[in-house]
Chain A
Amino acid sequence: MLVTLCLLQVLSWSGLIPTTMLPSAAQVLADTVGLFGNTEFLLDVVATMEAWAIGLAIATAIGVPLGLVLGSLRVAYEVSSVVVEFLRPIPSVALIPLAILLFGQGTEMKASLAIYASVWPIFFNTLYGVRDVNPISKETARTFRLTPFAILRRVALPHAAPFILTGVRISAAIALIVTISAELLAGSSAGIGAYVLRISSGGGSTSMVFAGTVVAGVLGVLVNSVLQAAERRLFPWKHVEKAA
């Protein structure tokens, strides 16, 4: 990592690439550090994170129960698969203009797009997880006289849980892209996208834009590693299996 940064730095000193295009690594780093003292930017980060978190939370609340039910009821899946195949190919960002019309430029609009974008990976991972349950597991639960609902909750859900978390992890990355896209396009008043827009239209330096992206990237990596750590903590049996 450090070596690459030094290489980039050397490259920019050498003057091969003008700094308006690819700013020096040191400059970006300095600007990134500077951003953490910038209250306005911090509020932007908070605004993006808010829409992102709300979107992910609601998408999970929709995607998981839906996946559980459709994963265990063949008929329900047959009926609804048409709807799914109909909606899924619509790229989430294509809906930005519609969302702007319906919800304005604020958090509601961003969150609704984040929900749409993140519900699919969560839903499908839950569905696959439920389908992956060993039939013997379900029969075992039946011989202990668990009701179908109890089987869903105590057998299907725990089995699908690691799949669900993977879905949330994939969704988190996509939701971040969509949220920032929405901010850029809608001309939102706050958010990382709004910051990038302000800098570039105000004639700010490229390195400031890079710095904003660096922060967004760091956020993405952080959320990803938090979710990965949660995976290890919550599902220890997955790892003993690998170790064994």
Chain B
Amino acid sequence: MSAGTRADTSGTSIAVRSTKYLSRIALRWVVLVALIGSWQLATVNLSSPYWVPPFTIIRRVAELWLTSGEGILSTSMAQDVLPSLARMLGGFLLAMVLAIVVGVAIGLSDAFGDYVDPILQFLRAAPPPALIPVFLVVFGTGDQTRVSLIAFGAAWPILLNTIEGVRSIESIKYETSAVFRIPLRLRLTHIVLPGAASKILAGIRTSLSIGLILMVISEMVASSSGIGFRIVQAQRSFALVDMWAGILLLAILGYLLNQVLTVVERRILRWHRLAGHETS
């Protein structure tokens, strides 16, 4: 629009931009180091048993993760991290598949959608942790309980977003594909899923954090393995370094899962953009 803004971007050289970028990264590291440093100082000086110095926690995490116990993996990896991850991914994938399939079906049929909407809204609002006892009765104390609880809790945001995403596709696209007599299977993969992709991904993001919450809480309430179990165990036996190490472990796990999702999201949405470009 204005000459000013255009000149502004072309005028900033790559060199200037990259030095800015580097100084930003440097700034972030400085802040991070300062943060951990002052946390260390504060906890050492506070000498409260509850607040463990960060270096002690980090050392403990390294110990738990990197020293080998059973084979190549450390005991903590084999007994806590892997079971937790397996439950999380199992429940999450189950939720994803079910929610997207059901969501597309509901989204495509108006009558059915209107009819199930109040139930879905209600089920989404019902807090899944309160159902843990029910899940224990139904599925027993095995991993089934935890996986199904995670799946149950994580399904709603994906389901509701899928329905919304499918409904937001303009009818002209359906009409066009009807005119060209595109078979249903192609309509699903080329119109419905790409059209709803960004909404579905937003739902998946919410579900990821809910799934993580449910993984932890189910392990805390009824389990004999997993990071959640380990944290509660540590708290009850007053092993505070272990408790903090567990929290840090969960933070790292949460961060990594989020990173993976971001990468997947970027890939899918790029493909989505390209596909949109081709057809238009």
C-alpha spacing A99/B217, complex, angstroms: 14
C-alpha spacing A1/B118, complex, angstroms: 7
Q: Please state if A97 and B231 are interface contacts (CB–CB under 8 Å).
A: yes
C-alpha spacing A3/B116, complex, angstroms: 10
Interface status of A86 (Cβ within 8 A of chain B): yes
A residues apposed to B, CB below 8 Å: 1, 3-4, 20-22, 78-83, 85-86, 89-98, 100-102, 170, 173-174, 176-178, 180-181, 184-185, 192-193, 196-197, 199-200, 206, 209-210, 212-214, 216-221, 224
**B35: chain A residues within 8 A (beta carbon):** 82-83, 86
Q: Out of B116, B130, B234, B253, which one reaches A180, CB within 8 Å? A: B130
**Residue total for B at the interface (Cβ-Cβ under 8 A):** 56
Q: Please state if A89 and B126 are interface contacts (CB–CB under 8 Å).
A: no
**B129: chain A residues within 8 A (beta carbon):** 177, 180-181, 184, 193
Interface status of B44 (Cβ within 8 A of chain A): no
Tell me the dominant secondary structure on chain A's binding face.
helix
Closest 10 CB pairs of A and B: A220-B125, A217-B126, A89-B254, A97-B235, A200-B133, A89-B255, A181-B129, A90-B251, A94-B250, A221-B125
Q: Please state if B127 and A177 are interface contacts (CB–CB under 8 Å).
A: yes
**A200: chain B residues within 8 A (beta carbon):** 133, 136-137
Minimum C-beta distance from A102 to chain B (A): 6
Q: Out of A78, A101, A102, which one reaches B27, CB within 8 Å? A: A78
A-B contact count (CB 8 A): 155
Minimum C-beta distance from B188 to chain A (A): 26
Q: Please state if A177 and B246 are interface contacts (CB–CB under 8 Å).
A: no
Q: Please state if B213 and A92 are interface contacts (CB–CB under 8 Å).
A: yes
**A224: chain B residues within 8 A (beta carbon):** 121, 125
Interface status of B228 (Cβ within 8 A of chain A): yes
**B206: chain A residues within 8 A (beta carbon):** 170
Which residue of the partner chain B has the closest CB to A204? B133
C-alpha spacing A15/B133, complex, angstroms: 22
Q: Please state if A173 and B235 are interface contacts (CB–CB under 8 Å).
A: no
**Listed residue (A4, A176, A214, A217) with the most chain B CB atoms within 10 angstroms of its CB:** A217
Which residue of the partner chain B has the closest CB to A85? B255
**Listed residue (A86, A89, A210, A214) with the most chain B CB atoms within 10 angstroms of its CB:** A89
Q: Please state if B31 and A185 are interface contacts (CB–CB under 8 Å).
A: no
Minimum C-beta distance from B34 to chain A (A): 9
Q: Out of B32, B50, B130, B227, which one reaches A82, CB within 8 Å? A: B32
Q: Please state if B231 and A180 are interface contacts (CB–CB under 8 Å).
A: no
Which residue of the partner chain A has the closest CB to B227? A94
Interface status of B169 (Cβ within 8 A of chain A): no
**A94: chain B residues within 8 A (beta carbon):** 216, 227-228, 231, 246-247, 250-251
Q: Out of B28, B50, B132, B227, which one reaches A81, CB within 8 Å? A: B28
Q: Please state if B130 and A192 are interface contacts (CB–CB under 8 Å).
A: yes
C-alpha spacing A17/B137, complex, angstroms: 13
Within B6-53, the residues touching A (CB, 8 Å) are 24, 27-28, 31-32, 35, 50
Q: Please state if B130 and A98 are interface contacts (CB–CB under 8 Å).
A: no
C-alpha spacing A5/B127, complex, angstroms: 20
Interface status of B123 (Cβ within 8 A of chain A): yes
**A213: chain B residues within 8 A (beta carbon):** 126-127, 130-131, 134
Interface status of B68 (Cβ within 8 A of chain A): no
Q: Please state if A82 and B31 are interface contacts (CB–CB under 8 Å).
A: yes
C-alpha spacing A185/B209, complex, angstroms: 19
Q: Out of B126, B213, B234, B252, which one reaches A181, CB within 8 Å? A: B213
